[in-house]
Amino acid sequence: MPDQIKRIAVMTSGGDSPGMNAAIRAAVRTGLHHGLEVYGIQQAYAGLIEGDIRRMTSRSVSGILKSGGTILQTARLPQFKELGYQRKALRRLNEYDIDSLIVIGGDGSLTGALALHKLGVRVVGIPASIDNDIAGTSTSIGVDTAVNTIVEAVDRLRDTASSHERVFLVEVMGRNCGYLALVSGLITGAEIVLIPERAMSLDELGDVVVRAYNQGKTHALGIIAEGANLKCSDISEYLLRHDIGFEVRITILGHIQRGGSPSAFDRLLATRMGVAAVDYLLKGETGVMVALEGRGIITKKLEDVIGKQRPLSPQYDELADILIR
Ligand code: ADP
Ligand code: F6P
């Protein structure tokens, strides 16, 4: 163990995702197991700068494994892109004698982690975001739970859509990434999936709906990624103007997708990543992110993964061509 590692701190940052608590719990307990002092930073980089930092014990993380959200809370602090704010954070870490930091969050949060690493802080990141847009890892904490939430909601919408012979346009999250829309469209039997990676015109979308109507379908489901080239309202107006046979309704799933108890998969992934983050720190790694590759948890250099959106699997694209119609 590099002898300077004595006090580590954990924070969650950016959009929360189900499983963050499981990762906090695993990191805290692994740190304590190795005889380290462990601190929790409340409200991400904002809390770090303000010194909202508390000592964590094994009891601090009891009973949180199954809870969504994050007990450390999260925040967005756009000014953290500025060197002055990063230096304030460094000063605060030095004040508390914290030598190592674990940042649990998305691409933006990991970019902040890299900035601190460049100022000399030992840092390990843990990828957590429902969007599945973080490069370098097969998946991130929270994605599986979010997909399950979307599927449950869309299955319910399909029941009512079918009863009333309606088109339902369902907007799902994902920022600029179409993963949530594509995968949930594939496994709910949607007729339409619109994702940022593959723009479609209103005429193309209209044709799909007209075809569904002419084939005698009792409904049509469209999963529209929030970052897609068209909004649900654009599509709805177009369909109404062209009198396609079905009535149209819009559902925006919104932040429902970010809450809820983490799935078994996310609990296990978060637990493994939390343990691995501390283990890799103790092995002397810094400036890295833990990542799922195959069945193993490995590390990737932060500078190799941040700012690069994880590409969609071409296999899912092929499946979509065959099945989404
Ligand atoms: P996520 O981590 O989920 O991608 P954001 O993109 O909102 O969420 O980023 C979360 C926080 O990370 C920001 O509010 C900011 O404090 C920090 N951050 C984002 N981008 C940078 C950057 N380029 N440099 C330093 N810190 C950043
Ligand atoms: O990155 C996670 C995410 O939920 C995105 O899918 C979405 O675009 C964004 O965060 C919403 O952010 P906010 O919490 O600020 O509404």
Q: What is the pLDDT of residues 245-281, one digit of tens each?
A: 899 999 999 999 999 999 999 999 999 999 999 999 9
For ligand 2, atom 15, name the residue with the nearest CA: 15
How high is the pLDDT of residue 77?
97
Q: Is it the case that residue 2 has pLDDT exceeding 60? A: no
The model's pTM? 0.97
> Beta partners for 55?
39
Say yes or no: do domains 7-142+262-305 and 144-258 share a fold.
yes
Q: Residues of the chain with pLDDT > 70: what percent? A: 99
Q: Is it the case that residue 67 has pLDDT exceeding 90? A: yes
Q: Which of 88, 143, 146 is nearest to 121 (CA)?
A: 88
Tell me: the pLDDT tens digits for 199-218? 999 999 999 999 998 999 99
How high is the pLDDT of residue 166?
96
Question: How far is the centre of ligand 2, averaged over its atoms, from the C-alpha of 146 (Å)?
Answer: 12
Q: Is it the case that residue 321 has pLDDT exceeding 90? A: no
Query: Positive or negative CA dihedral for 310, 311, 315, 317?
Result: positive
Q: Is 107 near ligand 1, meaning CB less than 6 Å away? A: yes
Res. 140 pLDDT band, cuts 50 70 90: very high
How high is the pLDDT of residue 3?
61
Q: Is 78 near ligand 1, meaning CB less than 6 Å away? A: yes
Is the separation of the CB atoms in 170 and 222 below 8 Å? yes
Name the fold adopted by 144-258: Rossmann fold (3.40.50)
Q: CB neighbours of 92 closer than 8 A, spacing ≥ 6?
A: 48, 49, 51, 53
- Which residues form ligand 2's pocket by a CB distance below 6 Å? 15, 106, 129-131, 173-175, 226, 258
316 by Cβ neighbours in 10 Å (0-12 / 13-18 / 19+) ranks as: middle
Q: Is 127 near ligand 1, meaning CB less than 6 Å away? A: no
Residue type, position 302, single letter:
L
Q: Rounded mean pLDDT of 80-96?
A: 98
For ligand 2, atom 4, name the residue with the nearest CA: 15
Q: Rounded mean pLDDT of 4-29?
A: 97
10 Å Cβ neighbour count for 56? 24
Res. 139 pLDDT band, cuts 50 70 90: very high
Question: How far is the centre of ligand 1, averaged over its atoms, from the C-alpha of 247 (Å)?
Answer: 41
Q: Is it the case that residue 179 has pLDDT exceeding 60? A: yes
Which residue matches tokens 């970010």? 258
How high is the pLDDT of residue 218?
93
How high is the pLDDT of residue 325?
76
For ligand 2, atom 16, name the residue with the nearest CA: 255
Catalytic site residue from 16, 52, 99, 131: 131
- Lowest mean per-residue pLDDT among 1-5, 66-70, 99-103, 157-161: 1-5
Tell me: the pLDDT tens digits for 230-244? 999 999 999 999 988
Q: Rounded mean pLDDT of 289-295?
A: 97
For ligand 2, atom 10, name the residue with the nearest CA: 15
Q: Is 43 near ligand 1, meaning CB less than 6 Å away? A: no
For ligand 2, atom 14, name the residue with the nearest CA: 15
Question: How far is the centre of ligand 2, averaged over its atoms, from the C-alpha of 172 (Å)?
Answer: 11
Active site residue 317: no
Q: Rounded mean pLDDT of 304-312?
A: 96
Question: How far is the centre of ligand 1, averaged over its atoms, from the C-alpha of 79 (Å)?
Answer: 9
Higher pLDDT, 297 or 317: 297
Q: Rounded mean pLDDT of 11-22?
A: 98
Q: What atom of ligand 1 comes closest to residue 86's alpha carbon? A: 25
Class of domain 7-142+262-305: alpha beta
Q: Is 14 near ligand 1, meaning CB less than 6 Å away? A: yes
Q: Rounded mean pLDDT of 157-176?
A: 97
User: Domain residues of the chain, as ranges?
Assistant: 7-142+262-305, 144-258
Packed helices 202-214 and 232-241: angle between N→C axes, nearest 10 degrees = 60
